[in-house]
Amino acid sequence: MDEARKGSSRDARLTRGLSGTNLARAGDYNQRTVLQAIRLTKETTRIALAEQTGLTPATIANITNRLIDAGLVRNAGRLLGGRGQPPLRLQVEPDGAFGIGLCIDRDHLTIIILDLAGLVRARRTADMPFAMPDDVLGFVREQMAMLRAEGSFDPANVLGVGVAMPDELGRISLPGQPAGYTVWNGTDVAGLLSAELPWPIHIDNDAAAAALGEAQTGTALATPSFFYLLLAAGLGGGLVIDRAYHRGAHSRSGEIGLMPDPTARREGALVQDTVSMSALYQRLAHAGITGVPPAELAGDDPALAAVVDCWIVDAARSLTAPLIAVQCLIDPDVVLLGGRLPPPLLDRLARALNAVLDQIRMPTRGMVRAASMAKDAPAVGAALLPFLDHLLPSDAILMQAGRAEI
């Protein structure tokens, strides 16, 4: 298999059947867990890590020494104060590894460089309606040349590239979509990008990438089960249960945008026909308002505000039944809203949904709120895909394909 395409399978972070494990896989999982514990804090100590993970102090010492030797963790000196020998302070080494995240959506392209600490070191984006494969390749070529020149990352420390894009990009039609956009149906995305991005390429659904990214940024510590709603050109969803992403039997869980919307005026309408950026921009166009970038949708122009106000009411109405189903069937800790909608409008939509759901009799429900990552969530989540396969904890890495040793 071509080296650049080795990471493209979604199954690398999943398992379907019963499987045992062995000491090597268990040891790898423990090391990944310790690294993640260090990543999610500004600094920590071996004593704190032992308490947090339940591993013995000796195991923690061995693991942290290996992480330091590998250049993934650094010694930040001793913690002063207290009695006895001051403990060592440990921090993640941001330059120890990098991931590249590329988001291909129907209305924009984004590429980012993410370091091991989770910081976006560089970001490039372009509003490009219905970019064709050659457009995407040109964008990547131009932006990567600039990023390499800036020296914002060490190519030798790049673990891989994550690509986040909607499923069936060329098959599910949205307003304004050109006929030639169906070219995406037969495009080998990993093959297209491999010449410009000579690292393993991991491809995933954009909403799945956003949810995976949210689960790796600290949200999952307080809310281990959540449903993620991604408001992009279309509407996607992602389901995380006990900090693990669940895709469903056909890797299509969370397709909330393709649910029928019986509250819409048009027969056969789908939820994303109302709740999506393309739907909002279509309303603005009908009102004679054009050229408004996403960041300015929360502006105070009266005509703009009137359209947005009406859209929020209708969006809350369209999402009510699907979110009742999510709440009753999944019982998440929280429902998170992310996407290119400005934070003030995400907050307004969350308040509108909470107000509607408060009127529904349910045994319990998770609150709706804006995600910690919003605008660049798919790209950040995509950049994390190589980390998940190589460095961060995943139940799938415990699974032994063949016979497990005991």
User: Each residue of 207-239: pLDDT tens digit?
Assistant: 999 998 888 876 666 888 999 999 999 999 999
Tokens, residue 204: 């995933």
The pLDDT of residue 343:
93
The pLDDT of residue 255:
92
The pLDDT of residue 82:
56
Q: Please tell me whether residues 240 and 165 are part of one structural domain.
A: no
Coil, strand, or helix at residue 80? coil
Report yes or no on 112 lying in a domain. yes
**Predicted TM-score of the model (pTM):** 0.87
**pLDDT of 78 above 90:** no
Q: Counting beta carbons within 10 angstroms of the beta carbon of residue 116, is it exposed (0 to 12), middle (13 to 18) or buried (19 or more)?
A: buried
Span 79-107, mean pLDDT? 85
Structural domains in the chain (count): 3
Q: Please tell me whether residues 298 and 230 are part of one structural domain.
A: yes
List the one residue out of 143, 162, 166 whose CA is nearest residue 100. Answer: 162
pLDDT band, very low/low/confident/very high, at 19 (cuts 50, 70, 90): low
Span 395-399, mean pLDDT? 65
Q: Please tell me whether residues 236 and 360 are part of one structural domain.
A: yes
Indicate the residue among 95, 120, 146 that finishes a domain. Answer: 95
The pLDDT of residue 393:
83
Q: Please tell me whether residues 191 and 157 are part of one structural domain.
A: yes
Report yes or no on 267 lying in a domain. yes
The pLDDT of residue 220:
64
Please give the helix or strand (H or E) that residue 367 lies within, else none. Answer: strand 367-370
The pLDDT of residue 5:
46
Q: Please tell me whether residues 69 and 107 are part of one structural domain.
A: no
The pLDDT of residue 217:
74
How far is the C-alpha of 26 from the C-alpha of 33, rounded, in Å? 10
Where in 23-155 does DSSP place strands (E)?
A: 73-78, 88-92, 98-104, 108-115, 120-127
**In degrees, to the nearest 5, what angle opens at C-alpha 226 toward C-alphas 244 and 114?**
65
Q: Which amino acid appears at position 308 of this protein? A: V
Report yes or no on 28 lying in a domain. yes
DSSP 105: -
Question: CATH no. for residue 126?
Answer: 3.30.420.40
Q: Cβ(194)–Cβ(201) under 8 Å?
A: yes
| Other C-beta atoms lying within 10 Å of the C-beta of residue 201 | 27
Query: What is the biggest distance separating any 2 CA atoms in the chain, rounded to whole angstroms?
Result: 73
The pLDDT of residue 384:
93
Q: Which amino acid appears at position 173 of this protein? A: S
**pLDDT of 352 above 70:** yes
Span 369-385, mean pLDDT? 88
How far is the C-alpha of 121 from the C-alpha of 113, rounded, in Å? 5
The pLDDT of residue 400:
52
Report yes or no on 141 lying in a domain. yes
The pLDDT of residue 404:
41
Q: Which amino acid appears at position 90 of this protein? A: L
The pLDDT of residue 168:
85
How far is the C-alpha of 197 from the C-alpha of 187, rounded, in Å? 16
- Which range (79-88, 165-174, 387-396) has the least confidence? 79-88
3-state helix/strand/coil string of 151-218: CCCCHHHEEEEEEEECCCCCCCCCCCCCHHHHHHHHCCHHHHHCCCCCCCEEEEEHHHHHHHHHHCCC
Q: Please tell me whether residues 76 and 112 are part of one structural domain.
A: no
* Residues 6 or more apart whose Cβ sits within 8 Å of residue 339: 210, 229, 230, 231, 232, 277, 346, 374, 375, 377
* Residues 6 or more apart whose Cβ sits within 8 Å of residue 55: 30, 34, 49, 63
pLDDT band, very low/low/confident/very high, at 40 (cuts 50, 70, 90): confident
For β-strands 73-78 and 201-205, DSSP reports them as unpaired
Host domain of residue 32: 9-81+88-95
* Residues 6 or more apart whose Cβ sits within 8 Å of residue 287: 303, 306, 307
Question: CATH no. for residue 61?
Answer: 1.10.10.10
Of all residues in the chain, the percent with pLDDT exceeding 90 is 66
